[in-house]
Chains A and B, each alone.
Chain A
């Protein structure tokens, strides 16, 4: 138990569906992140939030839309995804956005786009 909880754990969606991934952290951290992990590829940083403000968007397609309503919750809204978007989506949090600050990861959502 890392203190970061992601739901759902598994999601299958069609290319025309709209779905959302949820992340909640119970650690009192100020920074939250979305990562994508595709098979046989390194983790890719997608979005970074610091104190509920988005501070990084790594050229992620607009079909991925993040939302951070407060410092404990992070969402990733998905719409009109492609099969190549199938991956493990990981949420993480850390005390601050310093790159040497330990990140705590959730267990991820395994997304399959059909």
Chain B
């Protein structure tokens, strides 16, 4: 099974840039890398998705090296409201199913004043 590895938790301060790195050694050739954000007692929310190199939207940037065995979510100038759990997702490269995204434990990001 494809598997992602992320730090369990991270701390940072308001106004800082935060980078969360995810390892996915068994990613399939045609899989995208997707990041979701989850606040307490709410459902996850899509942040960003990419296949290779760099993707940027109004919320974050996603950096993917050429070998695609890892990816880094970058949150610029974080605020207290960015405190949440961040999930890195890739498909299960061995499964026939189209919807077997593998959810890991995520990274609990705590932003301090």
Write the residues of chain A forming the contact surface with B, with a CB cutoff of 8 angstroms: 2, 4, 31, 33, 40-45, 48, 55-56, 88, 90-92, 97-100, 102-108, 110
B34: chain A residues within 8 A (beta carbon): 100, 102
A88-B41, A107-B42 known; A42-B101 Cβ under 8 A? no
Q: Does B13 contact A (CB under 8 A)?
A: no
Q: How far is the CA of A87 from the CA of B107 in the complex (A)?
A: 20
A42-B104, A99-B91, A100-B32 known; A105-B44 Cβ under 8 A? yes
Contact pick for B98, options A4, A40, A41, A98, CB 8 Å:
A98
Contact pick for B43, options A2, A56, A100, CB 8 Å:
A2
Q: How far is the CA of A107 from the CA of B31 in the complex (A)?
A: 27
Asked whether, in the complex, the Cβ of B99 is within 8 Å of the Cβ of A99, the reply is yes
Q: Does B29 contact A (CB under 8 A)?
A: no
Q: How far is the CA of A100 from the CA of B46 in the complex (A)?
A: 11
Please name 14 pairs of A and B residues whose Cβ atoms are closer than 8 Å in the assembled complex, sorted by A. Answer: A2-B45, A33-B99, A42-B103, A42-B106, A45-B101, A55-B99, A90-B44, A98-B99, A99-B31, A99-B91, A99-B98, A102-B34, A107-B41, A108-B41
Shortest A46–chain B CB gap in Å is 12
Asked whether, in the complex, the Cβ of B45 is within 8 Å of the Cβ of A105, the reply is yes
Shortest B40–chain A CB gap in Å is 10
Asked whether, in the complex, the Cβ of A105 is within 8 Å of the Cβ of B43, the reply is yes
